[in-house]
Amino acid sequence: MSYSVKEVFYSLQGEGFHSGRPAIFCRMSKCNLWTGREADRATAVCQFCDTDFIGTDGQNGGKFTDAEALCQHLLALWPAHTEAHPFIVLTGGEPLLQVDEALITQMHLHQFEIAIETNGTKSAPDHIDWICMSPKANAPLLLESGHELKLVYPQPDLMPEKVAHLDYQTFYLQPMDDADPKVSQQNIKEAVAYCLAHPQWKLSLQTHKLLGID
């Protein structure tokens, strides 16, 4: 199987459980919750999406003929002369449109620790080391177990109590970012208040935006 990748970069994980951890980010092209046509953005399931996942023209993006070709491309970004195994975050778009057993197997042969960020609408292959699922309102939810559930908040049609019963190890609320700073601050206040009232939930901030890094 070939793989289409929008961009690849080395940075710090900015969100959730692994916040602050150095990682290679591999943003896979395509998303099943948006057709990819600019005119359809107003009717997309996640209108708050803040990433560009269309095409293969981002930094270090491209099309890769097989899993080994993609692995070699990713390994080139990990610091040399370190004993730490490479930590890879497969994201999108929706990575599970492309991530398959062949890619997972080949990455493990190269000693990658594999994390994935998914919208939960697709089943995941076995042996992914860390599954972070971010459910979206008005979208089907198939991936009901994993390691980390990260809910963008608030989504009026998907409040935390609707997913709090799912089989995940840890639960995060991430305040929805908005072009209006006042709205963003209000979302943060509401997320903080919800976490304080419901200690099952932890607060996740997009620290990469606060730091001004990828």
This prediction's pTM: 0.91
Concerning whether 51 is annotated as a catalytic residue, the answer is: yes
Concerning whether 165 is annotated as a catalytic residue, the answer is: no
Q: What is the pLDDT, as a whole number, of residue 47?
A: 56
Q: What is the pLDDT, as a whole number, of residue 200?
A: 98
Q: Which of 26, 31, 132, 195 is catalytic?
A: 31
Q: Which of 25, 53, 112, 171 is catalytic?
A: 25
Concerning whether 49 is annotated as a catalytic residue, the answer is: yes
pLDDT tens digits for range 12-29? 999 999 999 999 999 999
Listed by start position, the domains of the chain span 3-150
Q: What is the pLDDT, as a whole number, of residue 42?
A: 45
Q: What angle do CA 172, 86, 116 make, to 5 degrees?
A: 35
Q: Which of 7, 15, 26, 49 is catalytic?
A: 49
pLDDT tens digits for range 120-142? 999 999 999 999 999 999 999 99
Structure tokens at 81: 């002369």
Concerning whether 112 is annotated as a catalytic residue, the answer is: no
Measured CA to CA in angstroms, residue 84 lies from 23, 24, 87 at distances of 11, 13, 8
Concerning whether 132 is annotated as a catalytic residue, the answer is: no
More confident residue, 7 or 45: 7
Q: What is the pLDDT, as a whole number, of residue 46?
A: 56
Say how far apart CA 166 and CA 156 lie, in whole Å: 19
pLDDT tens digits for range 71-121? 999 999 999 999 999 999 999 989 999 999 999 999 999 999 999 999 999
Supply the CATH classification number for the domain 3-150.
Answer: 3.20.20.70
Cis peptide before 92 (omega within 30 of 0): no
